[in-house]
């Protein structure tokens, strides 16, 4: 293991390093387990691209699996536990993953996906599935000696659904190791993360998202972490109070649910230990953010970015109170934000356009096996866009006013309509379909389908089941509306902004 873990295991071997709803593990436990994972992967082989997928709900083992991959010099491929077997199989094939980690809730689907994709090794914890190699036995056969830490560190490969309906693999620019960086140097660099400045981090979001995966990096660099299996508002407050949590990462939906707790429940718990609560995902409504600052104190930090980029901008509570609505200024490794017009010309401060960003080494976002999508993100060499619309003020603070893309953000999760539309139009009763995001008080947006019937109007429940057979549950439309026409142009294009307008009168 990299020397940071060895130091923690020697300095405080019995101190709690990682806990979930079931277990508490010391630094000695973490040290030995992560060493065994790294050595087992080196012994069994992980393919020339060294990509290993993790398909599991939140648990201590999920964190350990990711940490072991970092220390083995592998590229972790986190996959949403909501995926169906065909969806997961696509990611396994596209990434060329040669090993898959699963948990008890995902073992059956994971084993089927591995069979479809030809992945030779599936390792699972706390599960009894014939096609899955037991975690305990797999680890027991490996050495707990320190693996080499001078091997090259590889980045996480995250998958974000594409507008063409197929997921795209991306290595975030921020937070990924620079090519040639060793595992030891990469792990040590994690100590500079804002969340690593205080011990005691709470993971409340799913560990297949970029934000919550910060918890893995914190354990890797020697910071104690508590993991909740799923978000529950009162359980979050109880954990903060009991374990004196200093940092966490949430999305606006979490804030909604916390604020919905009765006053007598909120008053039971002391949240005074919190030093930094980063929020990401969807834009946070101003009244919600103000209410959270009033409750938690000025500890909120808005982080704006994407799976492709990692955090692009950030803004403290103090700066946000002076500039409500801003997502802040660019953060390293990014050096500049600018709005551009349709031709890529830079616009003056305060003028709305497509937001574009510059990275200090001139790198741009890149999508695995998707040259056209990579090209579309490039405004010009050294300047890229995620497709958001907004402006930059004269002090470099970024304001987002709209999304150029059709993406729906529901509960902080990115959902791309094309994937859902492609499934809907395969139903025999559907002639055409468009999927948009509509307001949802709890989730921010919910998935709404506009359907043109082929002849007779199909049954709504039948359409929902049709989608559920092919899509992860969070992508299935929450509401369906029938229309005679979707207003396609002569070129067959939809104007999603026009379709969304009646549902968002305040925009």
pLDDT at 46: 67
Residues 346 and 475 in one domain: no
Q: CA 38, CA 67: separation in Å to the nearest integer? A: 9
Q: Is the pLDDT at 342 greater than 90, yes or no?
A: no
**Which is nearest to 331 in space by CA: 316, 315, 312?**
312
Query: Encoding tokens for residue 411?
Result: 């509960």
Residues 368 and 394 in one domain: yes
Residues 48 and 160 in one domain: yes
Residue 113's pLDDT band, with cuts at 50, 70 and 90, is very high
Please write the tens of the pLDDT for every residue from 283-319: 787 888 999 999 999 999 999 998 899 999 999 999 9
Token pair 């939140």 is found at 58
11 domain-assigned: yes
266 domain-assigned: no
User: Of 77-81, 124-128, 176-180, 202-206, where does mean pLDDT reach its minimum?
Assistant: 176-180
Q: CA 416, CA 280: separation in Å to the nearest integer? A: 18
Supply the CATH number for residue 42's domain: 3.40.50.980
pLDDT at 413: 84
Look at 182 and 161; give whichever has higher pLDDT.
Answer: 182
Instruction: Give Cβ neighbours of residue 469 (< 8 Å, ≥ 6 apart).
Output: none
Mean pLDDT of 353-367: 92
| Cα angle for residues 150, 155, 159 (degrees, 5° grid) | 160
Residues 440 and 462 in one domain: yes
Residues 344 and 444 in one domain: no
Residues 368 and 415 in one domain: no
Q: Is the pLDDT at 349 greater than 60, yes or no?
A: yes
Instruction: Show the domain range for 453.
Output: 408-503
Mean pLDDT of 250-275: 94
Q: Is the pLDDT at 163 greater than 70, yes or no?
A: no
Extract long-range pairs of 28-32: CB within 8 Å, 24+ residues apart: 30/5, 30/64, 30/67, 30/219, 31/1, 31/5, 31/6, 31/144, 32/144
Query: Encoding tokens for residue 105?
Result: 């809730």
CB 399 within 8 A of CB 326: yes
Q: Is the pLDDT at 166 greater than 90, yes or no?
A: no
Residues 153 and 7 in one domain: yes
Please write the tens of the pLDDT for every residue from 38-75: 999 988 776 667 899 999 999 999 999 999 999 999 99
pLDDT at 128: 85
Any bridge partners for residue 54, and if so which? Answer: 78, 101
Helix (H, G, I), strand (E, B) or coil at 136: helix
**Which is nearest to 174 in space by CA: 359, 1, 322, 36?**
359
Q: Is the pLDDT at 506 greater than 70, yes or no?
A: no
Residues 359 and 434 in one domain: no
Query: Encoding tokens for residue 495?
Result: 């104007």
Q: CA 413, CA 193: separation in Å to the nearest integer? A: 23
Helix (H, G, I), strand (E, B) or coil at 159: strand
Residues 40 and 176 in one domain: yes
**Which is nearest to 252 in space by CA: 23, 411, 370?**
411
> Which of the listed residues 181, 213, 242 is the one where a domain comes to its end?
181
pLDDT at 487: 85
Q: CA 507, CA 503: separation in Å to the nearest integer? A: 9
Residue 8's pLDDT band, with cuts at 50, 70 and 90, is confident
Residues 52 and 145 in one domain: yes
pLDDT at 415: 86
Mean residue pLDDT of the chain comes to 91
pLDDT at 404: 66
Q: CA 351, CA 308: separation in Å to the nearest integer? A: 25
pLDDT at 401: 79
133 domain-assigned: yes
pLDDT at 269: 98
Q: CA 347, CA 335: separation in Å to the nearest integer? A: 17
Q: Is the pLDDT at 187 greater than 60, yes or no?
A: yes
pLDDT at 252: 87
Mean pLDDT of 8-33: 91
**Count of structural domains, the chain:** 3
Query: Encoding tokens for residue 6?
Result: 């060895």
- Whole-model pTM: value is 0.85
Query: Encoding tokens for residue 336?
Result: 């500049």
**Which is nearest to 251 in space by CA: 402, 411, 78, 400?**
411
Mean pLDDT of 116-122: 97
């Amino acid at each position: 293991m990299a020397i940071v873990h060895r130091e923690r295991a020697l300095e405080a071997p019995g101190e709690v390093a990682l806990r979930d709803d079931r277990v508490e593990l010391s630094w000695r436990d973490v040290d030995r387990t992560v060493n065994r994972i790294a050595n087992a992967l080196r012994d069994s082989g992980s393919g020339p691209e060294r990509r290993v997928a993790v398909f599991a709900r939140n648990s201590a083992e999920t964190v350990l699996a990711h940490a072991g991959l970092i220390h083995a010099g592998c590229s972790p491929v986190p996959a949403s536990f909501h995926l169906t077997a065909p969806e997961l199989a696509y990611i396994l094939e596209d990434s060329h993953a040669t090993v898959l980690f699963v948990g008890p809730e995902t073992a059956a689907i994971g084993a089927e996906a591995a069979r479809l994709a030809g992945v030779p090794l599936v390792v699972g914890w706390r599960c009894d599935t014939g096609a899955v190699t037991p975690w305990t036995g797999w680890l027991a056969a490996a050495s707990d000696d320190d693996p080499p830490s001078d091997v090259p560190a590889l980045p996480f490969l995250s998958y974000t659904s594409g507008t063409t309906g197929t997921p795209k693999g991306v290595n975030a620019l921020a937070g990924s190791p620079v090519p040639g960086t060793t595992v030891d140097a990469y792990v040590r660099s994690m100590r500079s993360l804002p969340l690593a400045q205080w011990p005691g981090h709470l993971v409340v979001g799913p560990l297949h998202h970029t934000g919550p995966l910060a918890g893995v990096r914190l354990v890797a660099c020697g910071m104690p972490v508590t993991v909740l299996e799923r978000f529950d508002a009162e359980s979050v407050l109880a954990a903060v109070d009991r374990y004196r949590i200093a940092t966490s990462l949430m999305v606006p939906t979490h804030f909604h649910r916390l604020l919905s707790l009765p006053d007598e429940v909120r008053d039971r718990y002391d949240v005074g230990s919190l030093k930094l609560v980063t929020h990401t995902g969807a834009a946070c409504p101003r009244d919600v953010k103000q209410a959270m600052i009033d409750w938690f104190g000025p500890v909120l930090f808005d982080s704006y970015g994407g799976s492709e980029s990692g955090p692009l901008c950030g803004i403290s509570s103090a700066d946000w109170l002076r500039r409500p609505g801003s997502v802040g200024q660019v953060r390293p490794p990014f050096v500049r934000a600018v709005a551009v017009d349709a031709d890529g010309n830079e616009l003056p401060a305060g003028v709305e356009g497509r937001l574009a960003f510059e990275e200090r080494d001139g790198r741009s976002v890149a999508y695995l096996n998707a040259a056209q999508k990579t090209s579309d993100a490039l405004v010009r060499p050294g300047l890229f866009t995620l497709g958001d619309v907004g402006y930059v003020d004269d002090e470099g603070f970024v304001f987002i006013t709209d999304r150029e893309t059709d993406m729906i953000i529901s509960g902080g999760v990115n959902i791309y309509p094309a994937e859902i539309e492609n499934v809907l139009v395969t139903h025999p009763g559907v002639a055409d379909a468009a999927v948009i995001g509509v307001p949802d008080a709890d989730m921010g947006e919910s998935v709404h389908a506009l359907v043109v019937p082929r002849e007779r109007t199909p049954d709504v429940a039948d359409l929902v089941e049709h989608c559920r057979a092919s899509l992860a549950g969070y992508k299935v439309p929450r509401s369906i509306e029938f229309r005679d026409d979707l207003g396609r142009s002569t070129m067959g294009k939809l104007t999603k902004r026009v379709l969304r307008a009646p549902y968002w009168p305040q925009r």
